[in-house]
Amino acid sequence: MDVFDFLTTGSNQVRLVMTDSYGAQATRTVTITVESFLLEWNLGNTEKNIGDLVVYVTPTGSGSKVLHLFVDGTEYETRTVTTSGRRIDFTIPLSVGAHTISVYGTMTLSGVTLTSETLTAEIAEVSETSGTTVIAARLVESEFDQYTTLAIPYRVVNPTMNPASVDFLVNDQVIATETVDQAEHLWSYRATESGTLKLGIRCGSAAWSKTVTVNDLSAEISEVTDNLALKVDPNKITDLDAFNFNGATIKVSNNFDNHNGGLQTDADGNRCIKIMKGDRMTINYNLFGTDARINGRDMKFIYKIENASDFDGEAIKCKNGNIGLVISANGAKMTTEQTSIDLPTCEGYKTELELNIEPDSENKIMMFWEQGTPSRAVVYASNDNFKQTNPVASQLDQIHVM
């Protein structure tokens, strides 16, 4: 039994009661002192700074502590302190550009040395008189597993233009362009290919890059692309208006809110297409332009609907007459000429919804899958019809498309 799971910081008394095979007992009491050593500071992942950088470090813990401050990988200053919970100030003159600041501490108590975690921040040092653009980004790890989503905090400071246009590059190829202000933002990228990967952020002549290794997974989990007719992947879209997949394009409504909506990064660091209330995005692809009975059909939607004012409002729709699919905040419903199937869903949660239609040469089953689990199924008639008389495009309103 590991008693350390039950200990708290400070002095703890642990009583051991031992019983032999004859029932005789012996008791021993052990005093265990638990000490913690923590560092806190005033910096985040990235910071904009003008002039000397002032760093406040607050160590917490008993005993004598030694703080080690590094600038761009080189130890800048060492400070010995005995106080706990009191702020220690460091002043660092920096040249214009991107700099890495880190600090860690060691504490010796009763002959035992404890080492704190290392705190690291990326600083965009700018000057009021210089027009130099600076990019500060933080990606500590250099090795990842395949299909990991990398979340990279970054800050772009362009003294002459705010907001500024920023390019995101993978292996020196631009995969996305965004207009960002000087606050901290998050770039998320899902590494689907194994091997060496070079990630980059560029704004004018300023650039940041880092090369990482993506480890191949032993299990084969790559997506099935046989007979793939349409895929909308926000990670690979740089401009909604320029999207084209096998001839399918995207059109947004007039006065579309590209500041709060459009290509965005959600709270989990995932790249998504966000459609604000009152806006609309249309994909000119006909999901039901042909009869799915012949060869079957499979379609998957990864989305989230939140802050819905009408839970029955149509967030995703491809329906003409009685035939088609409608997804709302509360559920999804597919109707054919003779059959319907519906599935309750929940507003405010990321949903992975799949509709599978088997051909009439097999089981004549129409099935909803939610989060990879079969959820609702129905058998359709052999003379049913899935083809819309006047095929329509797919429309999306007030939704996050992942």
**Cα separation, 231 vs 300, whole angstroms:** 9
Q: Are residues 96 and 22 in the same domain?
A: no
Cα distances (Å, whole numbers) of residue 275 to 261, 345, 348: 5, 19, 14
Parts of the chain with a pLDDT under 70: 1, 218-222, 396-402
Q: Are residues 282 and 362 in the same domain?
A: yes
Q: Are residues 229 and 342 in the same domain?
A: yes
- Domain assignment of residue 265, given as a range: 223-402
Q: Are residues 44 and 67 in the same domain?
A: yes
Identify the pLDDT of residue 104. 95
**Which domain-ending residue is among 191, 215, 239?**
215
Take residue 215 and report the two structure tokens written for it: 């480890």
Identify the pLDDT of residue 396. 67
Centre a 10 Å sphere on the Cβ of residue 136 and count the other Cβ atoms it contains.
Answer: 26
**Which CATH number does the domain housing residue 70 bear?**
2.60.40.10
Identify the pLDDT of residue 98. 95
**Which domain-ending residue is among 90, 105, 126?**
126
Identify the pLDDT of residue 271. 80
Q: Are residues 53 and 138 in the same domain?
A: no
Identify the pLDDT of residue 90. 95
Q: Are residues 20 and 68 in the same domain?
A: no
Take residue 322 and report the two structure tokens written for it: 């009685």
- pLDDT tens by residue, 90-118: 999 999 999 999 999 998 877 778 889 99
Identify the pLDDT of residue 46. 95
**Which CATH number does the domain housing residue 346 bear?**
2.60.120
Q: Would you say 302 and 351 are in contact if contact means Cβ atoms under 8 Å apart?
A: yes
The DSSP letter of residue 352 is E
**Which domain-ending residue is among 81, 100, 126?**
126
- Split into its structural domains, the chain has a count of 4
Query: What region does 297 belong to: left with phi over 0, alpha with psi -120 to 50, or beta?
Result: beta
**Cα separation, 384 vs 364, whole angstroms:** 10
Take residue 149 and report the two structure tokens written for it: 């989503």
Identify the pLDDT of residue 258. 83
The residue count for the chain:
402
Q: Are residues 205 and 253 in the same domain?
A: no
Q: Are residues 211 and 234 in the same domain?
A: no
Q: Would you say 336 and 319 are in contact if contact means Cβ atoms under 8 Å apart?
A: no
Identify the pLDDT of residue 200. 95
Q: Are residues 362 and 249 in the same domain?
A: yes
Q: Are residues 149 and 175 in the same domain?
A: yes
Q: Are residues 275 and 366 in the same domain?
A: yes
Q: Are residues 199 and 161 in the same domain?
A: yes
Take residue 345 and report the two structure tokens written for it: 């869903």
